Amino acid sequence: MLTQTFMLALVSVAASQDMLNMCMDGKHHKTYPGPEGKLFQQCSPWKKNACCMANTTEEAHNDMSYLYNFNWNHCGVMSNACKQHFIQDTCFYECSPHLGPWIQPVDSTWRKERILNVPLCKEDCETWWEDCKNDFTCKENWHQGWNWTSGYNECPTGAKCQNFTEIFPTAQSMCEKIWSNSYKYTTYNKNSSKCMQMWFPEGPNPNKKVAEHYLNKAPSPGITASLFFLSAILSALLL
């Protein structure tokens, strides 16, 4: 009995450890995170431990890449300043091994899991919005509602191109609505360890600590159960 409960406790602790280092079941994600010799340009900071393959990161830098056939230029050519944030967003989504606490199952034809409410650092959201202010779009939610007849996304009839600030009056509205709440706007700064960084320099990935913070803050049923079993073991030993 004791051995059984102890094993159960170990298993649930191990499961929560995996939450800190895992890949979502997406369209291009690897099954498990691991080192990649080299990742392309903006995705390079993830090379020591990544959920993306090198070819995915190279393709992520192309317009209308075959990753998703997504057309950034649906309302005229997107500026390079704006586009680099969308490339970074793609690197973060494809490569990050520390999104475990925010991975959710999704009923979709092209992926089995998605991210929901990932707390994004204030600077990363605000510079994204600032750099896209002079660009144009026709839709608030870029996940849904496009006309895909030509093989890439075009504005649906009736959706007129407007500048970003008309579609997204605030940085928060853009970061949260554009990918149907994949991101959550926060007022945490990048040095807080409480928000995920889309942009970080080569070196240790600062987002691991952030995932740890949120895992500890909201103990999963697994952790609660393992704590329960551990205390049961302890009291059994003390008796």
Q: Quickly list DSSP for 119-161.
A: EE-HHHHHHHHHHHTT-EES-S-TTS--B-TTSS-BPPTT---
| 29-37, 52-60, 85-93, 175-183 -> range binding ligand NAG (CB under 6 A) | 52-60
| 7-15, 49-57, 167-175, 210-218 -> range binding ligand NAG (CB under 6 A) | 49-57
Nearer to ligand NAG, 3 or 149 (CB): 149
Pick from 65, 38, 66, 34: which is nearest to 51 by CA? Answer: 34
- Interacting residues with ligand NAG between 118 and 177 (CB under 6 A): 133-134, 147, 149-150, 154, 156-157, 163, 165-166
Q: How far is the CB of 134 from ligand NAG (least distance, A)?
A: 5
Locate 108 and state its tokens: 């979709």
Q: How many chain residues are in contact with ligand NAG, going by CB under 6 A?
A: 19
Q: 160-174 burial by CB neighbour count: b if 16+ within 10 A, else e?
A: eeeebeebbeebbeb
Angle between helices 122-132 and 80-95 (to 10 degrees): 140
| Three-state DSSP state, 115 | strand
Q: How far is the CB of 147 from ligand NAG (least distance, A)?
A: 4
Residues sharing a CB contact under 8 Å with residue 80, sequence separation 6 or more, in sequence order: none
Q: How far is the CB of 187 from ligand NAG (least distance, A)?
A: 11
Nearer to ligand NAG, 20 or 161 (CB): 161
Exactly one of 7, 11, 38, 55 binds ligand NAG (CB under 6 A); that residue is: 55
- Interacting residues with ligand NAG between 182 and 201 (CB under 6 A): 189, 191
Q: Quickly list DSSP for 1-20.
A: -HHHHHHHHHHHHHHHHHTT
Nearer to ligand NAG, 4 or 150 (CB): 150
**Residue ranges binding ligand NAG (CB under 6 A):** 28, 53, 55-56, 59, 67, 133-134, 147, 149-150, 154, 156-157, 163, 165-166, 189, 191
